[in-house]
Amino acid sequence: MTTFVPDKEFTQLASEEQIARTVQALESHGIRIVVVQTGEEARSYVLDFIPTEAEVYDSPSRTLELIGLAEDIEHSTRFQSVRKRLRTLDRATQQREIRSLTASPDLLVGSVHAITEKGEVMLASATGSQLGSAAYGAGTVIWVVGTQKLVRTLEDGYRRIREYSLPLESERTQRVYGQSSAINKILIINGEALSGRITIVLIEQNLGF
């Protein structure tokens, strides 16, 4: 299998000016923003953010894996890991239970594929398993995002998903599942009506796809 060589356009960290423009746009759309310098800071912030006894679904995310959050969430004894419960279910016979668990957790933790300077958040998926909870089902959403994912326009975001995120995700799914990924569904969030429901932690590090 040929190894994908990422386009440097989509690996460069955003400038302070671009971060400032994006933060202002997101906050004007009802999305709370926290900017940190390192993955470790983001990890600590998110763990402190999660309420005790909350039901937490960490959607598939290379970013969460890299900073150790995926493992923290799955092995926590302070709150309930949805993913840990999912591993006990049979995908052939218990799809209804699986859909119910992922559709409306107390808290969704994950990442996104692109954020525009106008404050549009873009999230692509092959199955859509994390999109419903992100759009409405989860009580609270917290996304951890490296600033290399900040783009100028929606078209740049689509290009980032097609030309950068998809090839890297396909390499991963080919190794893990023996098949490539696909862009079957894309969620674009232009704003959040419920104050405090969505928080984005921007990390000034290149992390994730």
- Domain boundaries of the chain, sorted by first residue: 8-203
Q: Model pTM greater than 0.75?
A: yes
Identify the pLDDT of residue 8: 79
Identify the pLDDT of residue 172: 85
Identify the pLDDT of residue 28: 98
Identify the pLDDT of residue 2: 54
Q: In terms of CATH architecture, what is 8-203?
A: 3-Layer(aba) Sandwich (3.40)
- Between the alpha carbon of residue 71 and those of residues 64, 74, 107, 118, the distances in Å are 8, 5, 16, 33
pLDDT along the chain (209 residues), means of 10: 66 97 98 98 98 96 96 96 93 92 96 98 94 97 98 97 94 87 97 96 96
Identify the pLDDT of residue 96: 93
- In this structure, what are the phi and psi dihedrals at residue 107, rounded to the nearest 5 degrees? -140, 130
Residue 127 contacts residue 175 (beta carbons within 8 Å): no
Residue 149 contacts residue 160 (beta carbons within 8 Å): yes
